[in-house]
Amino acid sequence: MNDDLDYDRAGLDLTIASEGMRLTAYPDPGTGADPWTIGVGHTGPDVYPGRTISVEEGHQLLHDDVQEAVATVKNLVKVPLTQGQFDALVDFTFNCGAGNLGRSTLLKLLNAGDYNGASDHFSDWVKAGGRVLPGLVTRRENEERIFDGSGSV
């Protein structure tokens, strides 16, 4: 249903603004350890303490990594989306994971056609390591505004 949508420049800008671009590997802010991250939220066995990359590598990793979130949103969302709604959901999925989107009240309400109710549930996802992180609060607020069509990054 949303096969004609793709993660556009505004979506990428949202993810880059939320994650930042870090060229040296750093520990997860929620755990202070694993998973180590580099570039724009890239994790995996190729990320380890001391690893560095170029800006170009960071952009390529983001492009590759975001494809899973794009596919997840296209697969799980059964109602029509605007470009902004799609971008917000891809950013959310990129950050929270496909499984969390799939189990979320946000998705259940959205697929029932309750766009406003779904939007209210971005703010449910502001904790990491059991504590509220200000960066996640800001990210969810940005996603909600973009989803609602009332703002941009």
Question: Domains plus CATH for the chain?
Answer: 9-148 (1.10.530.40)
pLDDT value at 5 more than 90 = no
3-state DSSP of 85-114: HHHHHHHHHHHHCHHHHHHCHHHHHHHCCC
pLDDT of residue 42: 93
Catalytic pick from 19, 141, 143, 144? 19
Mean pLDDT over all residues of the chain? 92
Burial state string for 96-117 with b = 16 or more CB within 10 A and e = fewer than 16:
bebeebeebebbebbeeeebee
Burial state string for 136-146 with b = 16 or more CB within 10 A and e = fewer than 16:
beebbebbbbb
Q: Which amino acid is at 141?
A: E
pLDDT in tens, 81-128: 999 999 999 999 999 999 999 999 999 999 999 999 999 999 999 998
Q: Does residue 141 have an active-site annotation?
A: no
Long-range CB contacts (< 8 A, 24+ apart) of 7-10?
7/66, 7/69, 7/70, 7/86, 7/87, 7/90, 8/83, 8/87, 10/83, 10/84, 10/87, 10/146, 10/152, 10/153
pLDDT of residue 94: 95
Q: What percent of the chain has pLDDT over 90?
A: 78
